[in-house]
Structure 1
Amino acid sequence: MLTSPLVLADVVAIALLVFGLFWRRDGRRELVVAFLTVNVGVLAVTAALSDGTVGAGLGLGLFGILSIIRLRSEELTQREVAYYFAALALGLLGGLTITSTLLGIALMTAILAAVAIGDHPRIAGRTVSQEMVLDQAWTDPAEATARVRTLTGIPTATATVVRVDLVNDTTLVVARYRPEDRPAVRDAPAEDTAPALADTSSLYLERSAR
C-alpha cells in the first residue's frame, strides 16, 4: 500500500501544497507541521481502513469528523482553513482504494489548482484582520468604518461591527485592510535625541567635578 501510485502522488501533492504554495506565499511557518501531520495522519488511517473489512464510508466519516475540529489554541483565517481542507482531501484521496489511478491523480491536481489560483495575489489580494474596541457605541457600520479609518490612518480599511455595548459605550469591530495600505512608520530624527544626550553628558561631568 505504501508503494501505491496514489500514495506517492499524495506525497508530491502535499509537498507542493505546503512548500510550493503556502510557504512561499507568506504563510505562517508553524502551520507547516500541522498541514503535514494532518495529511499523513489521514492518509495512514484511510489506508488502514481500506485494507481492512471497513469500507470507504468510514473513511468519509473520518473526513467529516476531522473537518469540524476547531483548533482551540488559535483561530485560523479563511485562507488557512482552505489549506487545511486541501491537506485533508489530499490525504483522503491518497489512502482510498480508487479503481482508477488517473482519476485520483486528476482530483489531486484539481485541488492544487484550485488553491494555487484562488490564493494567487493577483486574484485574491492579501488582507489583514484585527479586532478593535472603539471608545464609543457606534450602531451605524458606516460610522464605525469611518472611525477605524481615522484611527488607523488607512483610507481603504473596512470594519465589521461584532458587538455594541451601550452600557460601557464601546463597540467591538473587526477591521480589515491590505498590508500595503498601511502608512509608513518614520524613524525619529537623530538630531532630536542629540541635545538630550549632550545635556546628560554635561550634567554628569559637572557632578563628577564637584
Structure 2
Amino acid sequence: MIGVDLVAAAVLAFALYFRRHRRRDLVVAFLGINVGVLAVATVLGTAEVALGLGLGLFGVLSIIRLRSSEISQREVAYYFSALAIGLIAGLPHTDLTLPIGLIVLILAVLYIADHPRLLSTSASQLVRLDRAVADPTELRAELERRLGVRVTAVSVQELNLVNETTLVDVRYTATGCPVPVEPTLSLLDLQAVPR
C-alpha cells in the first residue's frame, strides 16, 4: 500500500494538479501531507490505536493547513484528496481491493471534476469598479456592459462610498465571442482569481 500511495500521490500532485495549475508550492504541500498522513496512519494502525484518533488527526491537520494560508476551493479538494489517500493507504487492510479502488476513485473524480473542458465557459473574476454601485440590477448591467459577458452571479465584497469604488466577485459565462469592451475598462482594477 505504501507503493500504491506514492504512485497515487505523484499522479495527484504532478499529473493532475501541477500539469493543470502550475503552482509548485502546493505540489510540495500535497506530497508532504500525503506521506506524513501515510506514516502516521501506518504507525497508528500497527499500534492498535482507535480509528477515531486517526480521523481526529485528519481533522487537526486539515484545520492547521487551511487556516495557514488562503487557498481556493479547488486546492482544498486536492488537499483533502491527498489527506484521504494517505489515510486510506496507511490504515491496515486485510483485502487490498477496496482501498486501491477508493484511491483510484478519488483520482478519477479529480481528473473529471477539474478537467479544463468541464464547465469551461464558466469563469469568475474579482473586479474593482471605479465607482460605487449599490443597486444590484445596475451593478449587474454595468459589469455586463464593461466586461462583455453574461453575468450569472455577483457578490459585493466591498462598497467604498468614500473612494467611490466597488469590489465585486463576478461569476460569468464566457461565450467564446465576447462583446467588444469599451475603453472605460482601463479604469477597472481587474484581479484574476483562480477558481
Scaled to the shorter chain, the TM-score interval is: 0.7 to 0.9
Structure 1 residue 18: Cα displacement: 1.3
Matched to 1:155, the amino acid is V
Aligned match of 1:84:
79
SS in structure 1 of the partner of residue 119 of structure 2: coil
Q: State TM-score, norm by structure 2.
A: 0.76
In structure 2, give the amino acid aligned to 1:147. E
Q: For the residues of structure 2 that align with 1:127 and 1:30, how far apart are their CA atoms?
A: 26
The separation in 2 between residues aligned to 1:52 and 1:18, in whole angstroms, is 30
Over 3 Å counting, the alpha-carbon distance change for 1:39 and 1:142 in structure 2 is farther
Secondary structure at the residue paired with 2:21? Answer: coil
* 2:106 counterpart of 1:72: no
CA distance, structure 2, for counterparts of residue 41 and residue 126 of structure 1? 37
Letter in 2 for 1:48: V
Q: Judge conservation of contact 1:50–1:97 (CA < 8 Å) in 2.
A: yes
Task: Say which of 149, 159, 171 aligns to 1:155.
Answer: 149
Q: 2: distance between equivalents of 1:165 and 1:181? A: 33
Distance 1:34 1:182 in 2: 38
SS in 2 for 1:124: coil
Which protein has the bigger strand share?
2
CA distance in 2, matches of 1:78, 1:97: 31
Structure 2 gaps of 5+ residues are 181-195
Q: 1:56 aligns with which of 38, 45, 51?
A: 51
RMSD: 2.8
Q: How far did residue 22 of structure 1 move? A: 1.1
* Aligned-partner Cα distance in 2 for 1:154–1:32: 35
Query: What 5-or-longer segments of structure 1 have no aligned partner?
Result: 1-5, 185-210
1:33 is aligned, of 28, 40, 45, to: 28
SS at match of 2:68: coil
Q: Which residue of 1 aligns with 2:42?
A: 47
1:181 to partner: Cα distance: 7.1
**Count of aligned positions:** 177
Is 2:132–2:165's contact at 8 Å kept on the other side of the alignment? yes
CA distance in 2, matches of 1:183, 1:23: 33
Return structure 1 stretches of 4+ with deviation > 6 angstroms: 180-184
- Please state whether the residue corresponding to 1:54 is helix, strand or coil: coil
Q: TM-score, normalised by structure 1?
A: 0.71
Structure with the larger RCO, 1 or 2 (CA within 8 Å, 6+ apart): 2
Separation in structure 2 between the aligned mates of residue 126 and residue 60 of structure 1, nearest angstrom: 38
Q: Displacement, 1:88? A: 0.7
What letter matches 2:149 in structure 1? P
Q: What is the alpha-carbon distance in structure 1 between the residues aligned to residue 144 and residue 33 of structure 2? A: 39
Distance 2:8 2:136 in 1: 43
CA distance in 2, matches of 1:127, 1:78: 15
